[in-house]
Amino acid sequence: MKNMQIKVTQIKSKYGRLATHKACLVGLGIKRINQSVIVNDTPENRGMLNKISYMIKIEDI
């Protein structure tokens, strides 16, 4: 089975957001605006991506 991955880029600031939303950014490894990271497509990561979908841009690789 192929290991699916997703490219995630932060497009909005984390300041003034809920603590759980900031924690999702930390969990995904995102530290600043316009930073991109590649994460595995797992249910855990999908849950974090859904929670902060208004702050990020998601691209399939």
The tens digit of pLDDT for each residue in 39-57 reads: 999 999 999 999 999 999 9
The structure tokens listed for 18 are 């809920």
Residue 53: which of 11, 15, 16, 23 has the closest Cα? 11
SS3 12: coil
Domain ranges of the chain: 5-60
The DSSP-derived string for 39-55 is EE--HHHHHHHHHTTTT
Q: Which fold does the domain 5-60 belong to in CATH?
A: Ribosomal Protein L30; Chain: A, (3.30.1390)
pLDDT at 48: 97
Which residue is listed with tokens 């702050």?
Answer: 55
Give the single-character DSSP code of 53. Answer: T
61 has pLDDT over 90: no
Report field, pTM of the whole predicted structure over 0.85: yes
